[in-house]
Amino acid sequence: MTTVSSNTNNGANLSSSTADLDLRQNGMTAIRPDRNTAYGESTTAKPVSDESQLAMMDAVRTMLLSLGEDPEREGLLKTPKRVAEAMRFLTSGYSQSLDDLVNNAIFDEGHNEMVLVRDINLFSLCEHHMLPFMGRAHVAYIPKQRVVGLSKLARIVEMYSRRLQVQERLTRQVAEAIQEVLDPQGVAVVVEASHMCMSMRGVQKPGSWTVTSAMIGCFQEDSKTREEFLSLVRHQPSLF
Ligand SMILES: [Zn+2]
């Protein structure tokens, strides 16, 4: 039996998106240089100190001045603090670790059929513009006995979303994280997202969706398994 759960009840209609599930099925495998490193070192950040919070507030004040605004006017007085706190929250995934997150939630169930959690809402910031991109992730794996609590799949998506990201890397990181903690037969992740840097500026194409996928193990090697996953992702649940 295949386990399918849906994380939302909004019934959003995929067919209205301009990018259909035209997936680069083999385009995103595990082996790609990780742009999350600098000079070969992981840049995974340290928690934000009070000092850097103040520095961030100063930077926001500078931005406001550069925009010709008056940071001292009433509506903007608390803006630097608000922005700094919002940025801290939106990047809080840097201070989380995969180990802490899945701790105590891995079970030896002897379950060997596909587990899919679809429609996991995600909000992230693109690292090129620091503008939001948002959408949904669908995450599946086929266990080798070991399963992880379903909510943890959503938490993994959340952890990697709350960092400065590009959608391709986010997709791959989620897949590799599940591969790492469960060593399953395979992992498949599809992310559909709309980027504010495309909608609000640049080409200004609201309503366009970017679809990325990462397939590992049997999802990459076995086209039947991949097709089953993709058809489950396409199908619109009408449970609610
Ligand atoms: Zn961008």
Per the annotation, the verdict on 126 as an active-site residue is yes
* Element at 177 (helix H, strand E): helix 167-182
Give the span between the Cα atoms of 136 and 158, in whole angstroms: 11
Query: What one-character DSSP code corresponds to residue 141?
Result: E
Task: State the CATH number of the domain containing residue 88.
Answer: 1.10.286.10
Alpha-carbon radius of gyration of the chain: 20
Is 138 marked as a binding-site residue? no
The reply to whether 86 and 184 lie within a common domain is no
Q: How far apart are the first and last CA of the chain?
A: 22
Q: Which residue bears the tokens 């994280």?
A: 177
Is 129 marked as a binding-site residue? yes
Instruction: Determine, yes or no, domain membership for 116.
Output: yes
Is 197 marked as a binding-site residue? yes
Domain count for the chain: 2
Query: What one-character DSSP code corresponds to residue 36?
Result: T
The reply to whether 85 and 107 lie within a common domain is no
Q: Which residue bears the tokens 């097709």?
A: 227
Catalytic residue among 158, 165, 167, 185: 167
pLDDT tens-digit map of 135-182: 999 999 999 989 999 999 999 999 999 999 999 999 999 999 999 999
pLDDT tens-digit map of 92-111: 999 999 998 998 888 888 88
Task: State the CATH number of the domain containing residue 140.
Answer: 3.30.1130.10
Instruction: Determine, yes or no, domain membership for 34.
Output: no
The number of C-alpha atoms within 13 Å of 118 and in the hemisphere containing its C-beta is: 24
Instruction: Determine, yes or no, domain membership for 204.
Output: yes
Instruction: Determine, yes or no, domain membership for 41.
Output: no
The reply to whether 107 and 89 lie within a common domain is no
Instruction: Determine, yes or no, domain membership for 144.
Output: yes
Write down the pTM of the prediction.
0.79
Host domain of residue 77: 50-93
The reply to whether 123 and 70 lie within a common domain is no
The reply to whether 121 and 198 lie within a common domain is yes
